[in-house]
Amino acid sequence: MGNGETRVSVPNLATVAILPASPDVLLSNFVLELQYALKAIGPVTRFTSEIVKRWLGAGALDNVNEFRLFSWLGQQEDIHRMVLYQCDFTMTKWTKMCIRQADCILIVGLAGNDHKVGELEQQVESIEMRAQKELVLLHREEADYPRGTVEWLNARGWCSSHHHIRCPKRVFSKRSSAKMVELYTELNKTEPDRMSDMSRLARFLTGTSVGLVLGGGGARGMSHVGIIRAMQEARIPIDMVGGTSIGALMGAAWCEEVNVTRFTQKTREWSMKMTSIAKKILDLTYPMASMFTGSSFNEGIEETFRDRQIEDLWIPFFCVTTDLTSSQMRVHTNGSLWRYVRASMSLAGYLPPLCDPIDGHLLLDGGYVNNLPADVMRSFGAQSIFAVDVGSVDNTELTNYGDTLSGWWLLWKRWNPWAKPVRVPDMQEIQSRLAYVSCMRQLESVKNSDWCEYIRPPIDKYGTLQFGAFDEVMEVGYNHGRTMLTGWERGGLINKLFQEKKQAERKAQEKADHMTHTPKLTYFTDLAELVSKIEEPRSSTSVGENDNSDSFDDDEVLQNFNQHAKFVAASEASPLKSVPDNTGLSLDQAAGLDSDAEDEFGKYDGDDDDDDDDDDVVEDDDDDEYVTESDPEEGVDEHKALAKMKNFDASRFKGGDPQLCK
């Protein structure tokens, strides 16, 4: 693998903590936008410290209620595909709890800001954890190209990878959180755009990314342009790109532009440069290591990508080279873009190996070890992989000339117009075929795999150096891709690309859990019950019948479960209404954000909700009666409430809203 940042697979994340890299990040807006994108994949909800306090009470984050809080959060994680934990802007108890719960931590920064590590990030790094950390850099929609990504990553060696996300204008809106929640409530009635960068991040977090692998094959690789154009018209997103040789150049150009028109123009200009005979003649040299010096070839690629770094591409990208020094395959995910693309295209005999500026190793065309690196893409976590093969097809109909072969006989056969032609590979072709032996074995495994969509456009008639036929070869690839994807769309196969492959298994498990009546969390209990081994409570009339029983003391148990009893009793007076899955905002709405909402910088527009003088009131819509949580002895039978608490069924949670049953 290349040095530095290495992109890793994230197939099964369930909890994601999101923290700001600086105070001017509009974190609430970002989380709402990510939640909106995730709803296309499965049920998702988000939590902030205020939402939790409004659900479980002002003391929900106190140490005495820690077990109760984690039990409740565990239930939410069981019933949602993903839970987003929005951290505070400082290292509060809630922030620590978010980090403790998270499988992955997103560090969100503004791309135009300074790359220095903030105080909150430094404090997070000092906490021991196994959660994967990802850097997310936000850009405006009209942004040109990412820049300075290397500085961000060098300052954060703990980040596994990074993501450049172009966000709609609403993410940068400075309206209050209440207004933003209202906006996203309406927005959630529509389907998110699966071609957006935020949807790409959502697929990365859920392990449903779409990867595109572009193989090597010289001028036949112009068909890659047509395949990508067909995929865009079919609205198939490309979340990661990998390539070898000409596939590396085409993939890098797409990841830089992410626009069909500009991408086509850039690749066409490069192809026309490759047709210049004058430049080839001037680049000829004495063939000690290669026929050409590589100067003209380098100039063409460097003009195409300038000083761009792989880290500055919009879409994650890798290319493959052959390391002559260590005799192994190299996968490059960072560093100078033009250098590693050039190394991946260095055909032995024509161009000299390129010296890696990092370690001095000699790098050659990646096609010698892996001409279609779909297996590498799979290791990076892509669920759906499109592999486009444009390699040459070797002639297997060779002449059986016996046990010996005379070169004079071959020469006579070739020069004699009346002789029967013979097909025997020359020394150069034999060396070439030997170099690709391991590559061909890997290619066959890709063709026969069930985890990859193998695509082979009809481009066999075009030569390896036929770059002048750019438009013709591109159209061949486009027509082939459009025909194939149109059939997929009619058969409903495209929509299946964005469904998790483990979704059926998860549904089967949920059904099994329901049939056996064994939910993962049956009782909403307190740590004191576990420590004291409290027995099942009986009805209020029989609790004190047996004074000799040493199981528990009534007053002590009621004191321990006082807060639970009030919650259940209040809910009994006014049962909470269930909200369908995928609204994504049920908890926010229940939190009453219209009146007391956080603004973008963690401050509040309204009064402090933790005022002990104010009683929390629950209204019953049926009889207009009110239940006040100020005194447990007024209007609340604690024995009955405790008994109902023990009969609480966690399986009644739907869509993030607990439906309490009588």
How big is the chain by its Cα radius of gyration, in Å? 31
Q: How far apart are CA 577 and CA 660, in angstroms?
A: 9
* Rounded CA separation 352/655 (Å): 61
Contact between residue 272 and residue 222 where contact means Cβ atoms under 8 Å apart = no
Q: Torsion angle of alpha carbons 415, 420, 425, 426, nearest 10°?
A: -20
Please state, in angstroms and rounded to a whole number, the distance separating the CA atoms of residues 130 and 160: 12
Cβ atoms of 10 and 381 closer than 8 Å: yes
Give how far Cα 635 sits from Cα of 36, 514, 565, 640, 659, Å. Answer: 41, 35, 12, 12, 22
Closest CA to 453 of 490, 492, 481: 481
- Picking from 390, 384, 391, 383, the residue whose alpha carbon sits closest to that of residue 485 is 384
Which residues neighbour 527 within 8 Å (Cβ) at sequence distance 6 or greater?
66, 67, 68
527 torsion bin: left (phi>0), alpha (psi -120 to 50), beta (else): alpha
Give me the active site residues, please. 245, 365
Question: Residue 411: which residues within 8 A CB-CB, separation 6 or more?
Answer: none
Q: Give the pairing of strands 657-658 and 617-619.
A: unpaired
Residues composing the chain: 662
Considering only CA atoms, which of 238, 47, 22 is closest in space to residue 136? 22
Orientation angle between helical segments 27-38 and 197-206, nearest 10 degrees: 70
Give SS3 for 299: helix
Cα–Cα distances (Å) from 14 to 74, 85, 312, 551, 560, in that order, read 11, 11, 28, 39, 31
Q: Which two tokens stand for residue 589?
A: 């709405």
Q: How far separated are the first and last CA of the chain, in Å rounded? A: 59
The DSSP secondary structure of 564-595, one letter per residue, reads HHHHHHHHHHSPPPP--TT---HHHHHTTTTT
Which two tokens mark 448?
A: 């026969």
Q: How many helices (H) and strands (E) does the chain have?
A: 26, 18
548's tokens: 């000799």
Strand-strand pairing, 362-365 and 354-355 = antiparallel
- Report which DSSP code applies to 315: S
